[in-house]
Structure 1
Amino acid sequence: MRIAAFEVRDDERQSFDDEARRLGVEVALHEEKLEPGNATMAEGFDGVSTLGLSRLDSSLLETLARQGVKVVATRTVGYNHIDLDAAKRLGIAVLNADYAPNGVAEYAVMFMLMVLRNYKPSLWRGQVYDFSLKGLRGRELRNLTVGVMGTGRIGATVIRCLTGFGCRILAYDPHPNDAVANHAEYVDLETLYRSSDIITLHMPLLPSTEHIINRDTIARMKDGVVLINCARGGLMDLEALIDNIESEKIGGLGLDTVETEEDLIHRDRRTDILTNRGVAYLRQFPNVVMTQHMAFYTDAAVHSMVNCSVEGIRSVLDTGTFRTRIA
């Protein structure tokens, strides 16, 4: 059984070696993302493992199918970079990663606190020995209402984390969870937009959720609303964020992901000329905290992502059950 892994980071290599040895499979590791120009590197392999920068569209999946690939596994929870309809038509099973939600949930709460307590400008001042307080007065989470959009495993864990702060918690999800309802009040989106001081997103990027945060929805929110995104960049309209942070309709942003980030994330671009003006402009605001798509990035999660990928591919091939398994 042979697996070709792409977009492999240095911190994943030991986990891949451990899993290959434990499961008795051969794994070839490649730093490059999988794309049409290097798809021959997967020829003769039974399964392929990637991260989110490899765009597995219909054409690329057809190439993989001709080369004998039967399973594609993404080492991410999100799977919007894979054409599921094409995979189903071609008989290729698709798997996504499943790891404990705690890391991302804790990161989202951290973002809330960083924005509320003006972490970024206070850090800037401290680095030049400016220890003044003017303009740094924050707000306490216990006095605010937090709206959680999406109450799957991560959203539900965010809610559990927030219960200790004593804040009011609103929740929205097309499929309410009875356990979540013990800690949060399920409301419709209009009520959540209108009533929340902080809104945090924990939903997949689908055609129905793309740009769910846009000019119109922001206009229906409270003045000074704080928005948090540790899910997918495409959930928020970048230009709408810029215009509304400029006008101060938005009081603060905590962004671990933003649309158009593909040419930036997880790469050292210090000496490059950057053409991504929206991201470069947005990150300079004192009330905008941005990180490099790393909310997931803990030791436990990295190992789990590799494990899900390798063990999942082996399981599908062993059982001969070639169907999509999306957590």
Structure 2
Amino acid sequence: MKILVYSYRMDEAKYLDKFSKKYNVEIELCKEGPTLENANLASGFNCISIITTPVDRNLIKKFYEVGVRFISTRTIGYDHIDIKSAREFGIHVGNVTYSPNSVADYTIMMILMISRKIKTIMERSNVQDYSLKGVQGKELQNLTVGIIGTGRIGKTVIKHLSGFDCKMLAYDIYKDKKLNQYVEYVNLKELFQKSNIITMHVPATKDNYHIIDKNSITLMKEGVFIINTARGSLINTDDLIDGIEKKKIGGVALDVIENESNIYYNDLKCQVLDNRDLAILKSYPNVIVTPHTAFYTDQAVSDMVENSILSCILFVEKKENPWEVC
């Protein structure tokens, strides 16, 4: 069988070569993301593999016309794909899973960085300012961490944080009894009210849209730290900025942000960014912003490539596919 891989990156090369040989699959590569202009490249391919490029109704229709019947995104999230239109045209969609340690480790790093004011410390040390004023941090053992979402990544965050001897609260529609030794499950309102640190590990769904907004921020403790390594749409950015400026929020660490498409993963250093909120957030001393790189480890990239190939194979062979979402 053949798979067309869009948005091919050089860091994926050795894994594409390794797993195409392992599973006896022919891989065609396209460095660009999928567009109406290059959709014809998919002619003759039942399956294509993409990353985060938006795939809207028009592109879905075009892919259907050229014979594509399965789209595999090499990401856990699939909110960049118009699922409704895919169902309408009879195109199936699959995501992938990868090592939860990648995002979990990164999340804990961001928790430590924001609670210990590392951004200010590093920026000062770069100009040889080694003073202590304003950089006194907090110890995790004295804080309560609220984890929203206890799936694969949230569960791993909890297990790793257990070594820091901090109190943990958790919220999820589906409770995992095995985590009761580490966390206390509470409702979302109670988590907001009692947590010093809030970290989110849920998908970008309609129900999860703007979990954090002015109403939830009002419930939170003074000086709360907010961490987001999941999806930008979980936070209302305007309300977040307002909470920071009113000093209700003590610090924020964001690996994702609303309207990040066409910004992250591109070299834009000589351009004016089309995202004013991103520029504002980066200007604050108590806000850390990274470009959606929490997932980015060698193991995760290997998993993303392998599972995308496997998902396509399972679809073509009409076998049960754990990654198929529609």
TM over 0.5: yes
Cα contact 1:93–1:324 (8 A) shared by 2: no
> 1:283 aligns to what SS in structure 2?
helix
Distance 1:302 1:161 in 2: 22
- 1:288 maps to 2:287: yes
Report the counterpart of residue 196 of structure 2 in structure 1: 197
Distance 1:42 1:270 in 2: 32
> 1:179 aligns to what SS in structure 2?
helix
Written as runs of structure 1 = structure 2, the 5 A alignment for 1:243-322 is: 243-319=242-318
Report the counterpart of residue 29 of structure 1 in structure 2: 29
In structure 1, runs of 5+ residues without a counterpart are none
Report the counterpart of residue 160 of structure 1 in structure 2: 159
Cα contact 2:201–2:230 (8 A) shared by 1: yes
Distance 1:21 1:90 in 2: 32
Q: How much has 1:57 moved relative to structure 2?
A: 2.5
Residue type of the partner of 2:11? D
Written as runs of structure 1 = structure 2, the 5 A alignment for 1:87-236 is: 87-236=86-235
Report the counterpart of residue 49 of structure 2 in structure 1: 49
TM-score by length of 2: 0.96
> 1:312 aligns to what SS in structure 2?
helix
> 2:279 aligns to what SS in structure 1?
helix
Distance 2:248 2:312 in 1: 47
Residue type of the partner of 1:29? L
Distance 1:243 1:207 in 2: 23
> 2:177 aligns to what SS in structure 1?
coil
In structure 2, runs of 5+ residues without a counterpart are none
> 1:37 aligns to what SS in structure 2?
coil
Cα contact 2:311–2:321 (8 A) shared by 1: no
Between 222-231 and 14-23, report the one with greater CA deviation: 14-23
Distance 1:281 1:314 in 2: 45
TM-score by length of 1: 0.96
Q: How much has 1:181 moved relative to structure 2?
A: 2.0
Q: How much has 1:121 moved relative to structure 2?
A: 0.6
Q: How much has 1:321 moved relative to structure 2?
A: 6.3
Cα contact 2:311–2:323 (8 A) shared by 1: no
Distance 1:154 1:275 in 2: 31
Q: How much has 1:88 moved relative to structure 2?
A: 2.9
Seq. identity, %: 41
Report the counterpart of residue 16 of structure 1 in structure 2: 16
Report the counterpart of residue 64 of structure 2 in structure 1: 65
RMSD (CA atoms): 1.6
> 2:317 aligns to what SS in structure 1?
helix
Distance 1:115 1:60 in 2: 40
Between 210-219 and 30-39, report the one with greater CA deviation: 30-39
Cα contact 2:314–2:321 (8 A) shared by 1: no
> 2:189 aligns to what SS in structure 1?
helix
Distance 1:17 1:93 in 2: 25
